[in-house]
Amino acid sequence: MAQQASTSHTPNEHIVLRPPTSQNIASLRRLNSLLLPINYPKSFYNDILASPTTTRLTRLAVWLHSVPPADPPPTDGGGGGDGDPEAQQQQQEDPGVTVGGVRCRLELPPPPPPPPPQEVVEGEADGEGAGGEEQIQTGGAIYIMTLCTLSPYRHLGVGTRLVASVLRAAVELGCKEVYAHVWEANTEALEWYRRRGFDVDTGEVVKGYYSKLRPAGARVVRRRIGVGDAIAFAAKVDGDGEGEGEGEGEGEGLGGLEGLEG
Ligand SMILES: CC(C)(COP(=O)(O)OP(=O)(O)OC[C@H]1O[C@@H](n2cnc3c(N)ncnc32)[C@H](O)[C@@H]1OP(=O)(O)O)[C@@H](O)C(=O)NCCC(=O)NCCS
Q: Which of 10, 6, 48 is nearest to 26 (CA)?
A: 48
Report the distance separating Cα 212 and Cα 208, nearest Å: 9
Number of H helices, E strands in the chain: 7, 7
What are the two backbone dihedrals, phi and then psi, of residue 18, each rounded to the nearest 5 degrees?
A: -125, 145
The pLDDT assigned to 83 comes to 52
- Atom 39, ligand 1: residue with shortest CA distance: 148
Q: Which of 205, 210, 208 is nearest to 221 (CA)?
A: 205
Does the Cβ of 160 fall within 6 Å of ligand 1? yes
Model pTM?
Answer: 0.81
The pLDDT assigned to 107 comes to 97
Q: How far is the CA of 158 from the centre of ligand 1 (A)?
A: 7
Q: In a 3-state reduction of DSSP, which class is residue 222?
A: strand
Is the CB of residue 225 less than 8 Å from the CB of residue 167? Answer: yes
Q: How far is the CA of 160 from the centre of ligand 1 (A)?
A: 6
Length of the chain (residues) = 262
Does the Cβ of 12 fall within 6 Å of ligand 1? yes
Report the distance separating Cα 219 and Cα 200, nearest Å: 7
What residue ranges define each of the domains in the chain, with the CATH number in brackets?
Answer: 15-107+140-176+225-240 (3.40.630.30)
Is the CB of residue 144 less than 8 Å from the CB of residue 36? Answer: no
Query: Per-residue confidence of the chain (262 residues) as pLDDT tens digits?
Result: 444 444 578 889 999 999 999 999 999 999 999 999 999 999 999 999 999 999 999 999 999 998 867 665 554 444 444 455 665 565 567 889 999 999 999 999 888 888 887 765 555 544 444 444 444 567 899 999 999 999 999 999 999 999 999 999 999 999 999 999 999 999 999 999 999 999 999 999 999 999 999 999 999 999 999 999 988 877 765 543 334 444 455 544 344 454 333 3
Does the Cβ of 159 fall within 6 Å of ligand 1? yes
- The DSSP secondary structure of 88-134, one letter per residue, reads HHHHHH---EEEEEEEEEEEPPPPPPPPPGGGPPTT--TT--TT-PP
The pLDDT assigned to 119 comes to 63
Does the Cβ of 81 fall within 6 Å of ligand 1? no
